Amino acid sequence: MQLIRCSIDGERPKEVPATIFWAWRDLEGTRHAYRQRLCLTHYAMNVAPLERESDDDRLHCPACGIDSEDNYQPVWASIFVKGMKPASLTLPLCPPCMLRVCSSAELGSESLPDREVGAGAAAPTYSAWETLRALGRDDRV
């Protein structure tokens, strides 16, 4: 039995749960990111069907299959399942499916902090001379 509970039903699975990191932007441009842990049953029911790829050159909603080339909302998922290669998905979801998938992704999940500048994003780099100058020790003069 695992210590981590399934985000959907709160049960402790016997197997190591799958971890899915979800991210998307709402219509106002606000980033939403969540970490969800699912037993393998709920992973197979809710996430695995989204992993299918289309052979067509046009975008299709992976949840319902309709053509979403001209009207989609991207959702990103990084998936980690023990014994499987990690997967990164960019899902071109149609608006109704985006609402359903995002609602499901939020269920029992942990909200992650924003990664915008100043909150975990890569810090700007400075040359040695810029650092010395900022410290008042520019010896080049």
Output the pLDDT for position 29: 86
Give a yes or no: residue 10 inside a domain: no
Question: What's the pLDDT at 87?
Answer: 93
Model pLDDT, residue 100: 95
- In this structure, are residues 138 and 60 in contact, taking their beta carbons and an 8 Å threshold? no
Q: Can you give the pLDDT at residue 74?
A: 94
Does some domain include residue 139? no
Per-residue pLDDT of the chain (141 residues; tens, 9 = 90+): 788 899 999 999 999 999 999 999 988 888 999 999 999 999 999 999 998 777 778 899 999 999 999 999 999 999 999 999 999 999 999 999 999 999 999 989 999 987 665 554 455 566 666 766 777 775 555
Query: Taking a C-beta distance cutoff of 8 angstroms, is the pair 115, 84 a contact?
Result: no
- Contact in structure between 91 and 76 (CB atoms under 8 Å): yes
- CA 129 from chain center: how many Å? 38
- Specify if 106 maps to a domain: yes
Residue 66 lies in a domain: yes
| pLDDT in the model for residue 85 | 94
Q: How far apart are CA 139 and CA 141, in angstroms?
A: 5
Range(s) of the domain holding residue 115: 18-134
Whether residue 27 is contained in a domain is answered as yes
Question: What do you get for the CA distance between the two ends of the chain, in Å?
Answer: 67
Q: Which residue has the tokens 């197979």?
A: 44
Tokens of 54: 């289309």
Number of domains in the chain: 1
pLDDT at 140: 55
Residue 73 lies in a domain: yes
Please check whether residue 12 lies inside any domain of the structure. Answer: no
Q: State the residue for tokens 């149609």.
A: 94
- State residue 57's pLDDT score: 82
Is 113 part of any domain? Answer: yes
